[in-house]
């Protein structure tokens, strides 16, 4: 068993596509194997340039990601792509769309494409996406691009795990800068006005410029505003250049601070999730949660007392107990 895991981990490190795909599936399903593999390959991570690409639905993210990946492929860099689909894993629409759009890349042995769906109630998406990035990083991807729809908290969190975040905006369509969530605007290291072949690119550029004028540059970096036509590839080379420039800039101390911050939030996220799952597993099986909800609803008990009890009564050494049972 241990031997098999070690072989699996080695296959990941050598870039074996099937081993990588299976590992990310295990992570997505929360299987212990995923965690085990992560532990084995973690020391080999940290080399990838992780780029987050976010923006409204239909802004052209997938089209741009494909072109950007091809740009990096041109000099032999292995590229990993994670498309985060906020819809149900079973709707399939967007996933299928991305597959078709990225078909050209799919036949390239040096590109790994993966769709991940938002997870259910227990645990957010961010930890799984984080681990998937680590697998691709360990597998030798020099660049990992994460595509997320910039609307919800999950997506902002996913974008936070990137070293560089590209925010796509498009002309017209009421996609005004003001209506874009403040949190999303703030995480952008690079602004890209995609569909620059359509009228209104100038106006949106003015809006972004106005917004940037009143905000303090994060980490001393002044986010550039670029224009692209993802369908034709126009502006993609310039985007790559800016990204690489940002990476070099980041290397001067900023990246270190950011990475430290990312490690900190990853640890806290995992801790939060682990503790929550422990309580949920031990104390919230079946209808227990409903019963507690009922007690609070009828004012028989207050929520603070209920939570204090749940936490206090959770077996502290659960891991050892369940291990000895096995």
Ligand X SMILES: Nc1nc2c(ncn2[C@@H]2O[C@H](COP(=O)(O)OP(=O)(O)OP(=O)(O)O)[C@@H](O)[C@H]2O)c(=O)[nH]1
Judged by the rule CB under 5 A, the positions of this chain that interact with Mg ion are 61-62
Specify whether the CB–CB gap between 65 and 81 falls below 8 A: yes
Identify the helix (H) or strand (E) that includes residue 167.
strand 164-169
User: To the nearest whole angstrom, how small is the minimum distance from the Cβ of residue 196 to ligand X?
Assistant: 7
Q: Residues 133 to 152: which contact ligand X by CB under 6 A?
A: 149
Choose the binding region for ligand X from 61-69, 108-116, 211-219, 271-279 (rule: CB under 6 A).
Answer: 61-69
* Interaction between residue 59 and ligand X (CB under 6 A): yes
Name the strand (E) or helix (H) holding 184.
Answer: helix 182-186
Asked if 194 and 64 touch (Cβ cutoff 8 Å), the reply is yes
Using CB under 6 A as the binding rule, whether residue 252 contacts ligand X is answered as: no
Cα distance between residue 211 and residue 123, in whole Å: 34
Choice between 62 and 228, CB closer to Mg ion: 62
If DSSP codes are grouped into helix, strand and coil, which group holds residue 146? Answer: strand
Per-residue x/- track, 202-241, ligand X (CB under 6 A):
---------------------------xxx----------
Identify which of 135, 120, 186 has the alpha carbon closest to the alpha carbon of residue 159: 186
- 319 binding ligand X? (CB under 6 A): no
**Residue, CB closest to Mg ion:** 62
Which residue has the CB atom at the shortest distance from ligand X? 60
x/- track of binding to ligand X for residues 66-105 (CB under 6 A): ----------------------------x--x---x----
In this complex, which beta carbon is closest to ligand X, that of residue 48 or of residue 229?
229
The torsion defined by the Cα of 295, 297, 301 and 305, in degrees rounded to 10, comes to 100
Residues in contact with ligand X by CB under 6 A are 55, 57-63, 94, 97, 101, 149, 194-195, 197-198, 229-231
């Amino acid at each position: 068993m241990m031997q098999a895991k070690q072989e699996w981990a080695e296959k990941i490190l050598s870039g074996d596509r099937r081993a990588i795909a299976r590992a990310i599936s295990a992570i997505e399903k929360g299987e212990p194997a995923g965690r085990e593999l992560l532990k084995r390959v973690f020391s080999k991570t940290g080399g990838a340039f992780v780029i987050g690409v976010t923006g409204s639905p239909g802004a052209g993210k997938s089209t741009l990601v494909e072109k950007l990946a091809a740009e990096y492929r041109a000099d032999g860099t292995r590229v990993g792509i994670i498309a985060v689909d906020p819809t149900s894993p079973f709707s399939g629409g967007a996933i299928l769309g991305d597959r078709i759009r990225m078909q050209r890349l799919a036949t390239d042995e040096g590109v790994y494409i993966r769709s991940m769906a938002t997870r259910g109630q227990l645990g957010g998406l961010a930890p799984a996406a984080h681990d998937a990035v680590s697998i691709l990083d360990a597998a030798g991807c020099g660049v990992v691009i994460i595509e997320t729809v910039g609307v919800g908290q999950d997506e902002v969190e996913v974008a936070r795990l990137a070293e560089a975040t590209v925010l796509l905006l498009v002309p017209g369509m009421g996609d005004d800068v003001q209506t874009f969530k403040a949190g999303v605007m703030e995480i952008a290291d690079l602004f890209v006005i995609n569909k620059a072949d359509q009228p209104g690119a100038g106006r949106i550029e003015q809006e972004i410029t106005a917004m940037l004028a009143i905000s303090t540059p994060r980490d001393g970096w002044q986010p550039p505003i670029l224009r692209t036509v993802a369908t034709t590839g126009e502006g993609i080379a310039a985007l790559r250049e800016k990204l690489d420039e940002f990476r070099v800039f980041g290397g001067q101390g900023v990246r270190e601070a950011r990475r430290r911050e990312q490690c900190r939030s990853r640890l806290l996220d995992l801790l939060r999730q682990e503790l929550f799952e422990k309580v949920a597993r031990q104390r919230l099986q079946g209808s227990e949660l409903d019963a507690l909800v009922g007690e609070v609803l009828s004012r028989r008990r207050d929520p603070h007392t209920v939570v204090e009890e749940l936490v206090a009564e959770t077996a502290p050494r659960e891991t050892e107990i369940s291990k000895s049972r096995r």
